Amino acid sequence: MSDAEVFEGDFRSGFVCLVGRPNTGKSTLTNALVGTKVAITSNRPQTTRHTIRGILHRNDFQLILVDTPGLHRPRTLLGQRLNDLVRDTYSQVDVIGLCIPADEKIGPGDRWIVEQIRAVAPRTPLVAVVTKIDKVGKDRVAGQLVAVAELVGTERTEIVPVSAVTGEQIDVLTGVLAAGLPPGPAFYPDGELTDEPEETLMAEFIREAALEGVRDELPHSLAVVIEDVAPREGRDDLIDVHAVLYVERTSQKGIVIGKGGSRLRAVGTTAREQIEKLLGTKVYLDLRVKIAKNWQRDPKQLGRLGF
* Binding-site annotation: residue ranges for GTP: 20-27, 67-71, 131-134
Which strands form 126-131's sheet, in the order they lie side by side? 52-57, 61-67, 12-19, 95-101, 126-131, 157-161
Which of 54, 285, 86, 98 minimizes the C-alpha distance to 188? 54
What does the alpha-carbon distance between residue 225 and residue 204 come to, in Å, rounded to a whole number? 9
- Please enumerate in sequence order all residues whose Cβ is within 8 A of that of 217, keeping only pairs 6 or more positions apart, or say none: 252
**All residues at 6 or more sequence positions from 201 whose CB lies less than 8 Å from its CB, including other chains:** 38, 52, 194, 278
SS3 content of the chain, % helix, strand, coil (to 5): 40, 25, 35
Q: Enumerate residues 6+ apart whose C-beta is below 8 A from 23.
A: 43, 44, 45, 47, 70
Dihedral (CA of 149, 151, 152, 155) sign: positive
Binding-site members are: 20-27, 67-71, 131-134
How far are the Cα atoms of 60, 146, 191, 211, 306 from residue 199, in angstroms, in the given order? 32, 42, 20, 18, 12
Report the alpha-carbon distance of residue 102 to residue 90 in Å, rounded.
23
